[in-house]
Amino acid sequence: MSSYTQLLYQIVFSTKNRERVLAKNNRTILFNYMAGIIHNKNCHLYIINGVEDHVHIVTHIHQSIALASFVKDIKVASSLFIKEQKLFDNFSSWQVGYGAFTYSIKELNRVITYVANQEKHHQEKSYIEEYTILLKQHRVEYDERYLL
């Protein structure tokens, strides 16, 4: 018997100290690199997008992969890539930690649209405001000290 899953995640993480260093002109290069990492792990990527201080990834994660390892691999490899390619001035690293939120496949189009419109959302809300809303919507308990 085969295993069948639909593990749909929205993963969100920020630059260290939420530094606004992810310049728009090189984000596509970064997102394409991250897409390659995700593809090589036999996961299905729906969308990657973000703004100057954080990234959103909507993906199906293969059932054999642990979420924490998946995110760590993306962050470590992309951090090295950014530094080697000198993609973003003043990029030091990604923040410690991440947010990961699950969705029903019925919500896929809505989540993709939301992530695609990150620049528009962040004309009105900061990363912390957006992240806090996600935590509350998904009923995730959190410590505000780690959001500041």
The pLDDT of 15-44, averaged and rounded, is 96
Rounded-to-integer distance, Cα 47 and Cα 54, Å:
14
Query: Could you tell me which residues are beta bridge partners of residue 60?
Result: 8, 44
DSSP 45: E
pLDDT > 90? residue 46: yes
Question: Coil, strand, or helix at residue 73?
Answer: helix
What's the pTM value of the predicted model, to 2 decimals?
Answer: 0.93
8-12, 13-17, 73-77, 128-132: least confidently modelled range: 128-132
pLDDT band at 145 (very low <50, low <70, confident <90, very high): confident
Residue 148 amino acid letter:
L
For the chain, the domains span 8-146
pLDDT > 80? residue 137: yes
pLDDT digits (tens, 9 = 90+) for 114-131: 999 998 888 888 888 999
pLDDT score recorded for residue 16: 95
pLDDT digits (tens, 9 = 90+) for 82-111: 999 999 999 999 999 999 999 999 999 999
CATH of 8-146, one of 3.20.20.10, 3.30.70.1290, 3.40.50.720, 3.30.2080.10: 3.30.70.1290
Query: Could you tell me which residues are beta bridge partners of residue 14?
Result: 54
Tokens of 2: 């085969």
Residues of the chain above pLDDT 90, percent: 81
Residues of the chain above pLDDT 70, percent: 99
pLDDT band at 20 (very low <50, low <70, confident <90, very high): very high
Pairwise pLDDT comparison (5 vs 106), residue with the higher score: 106
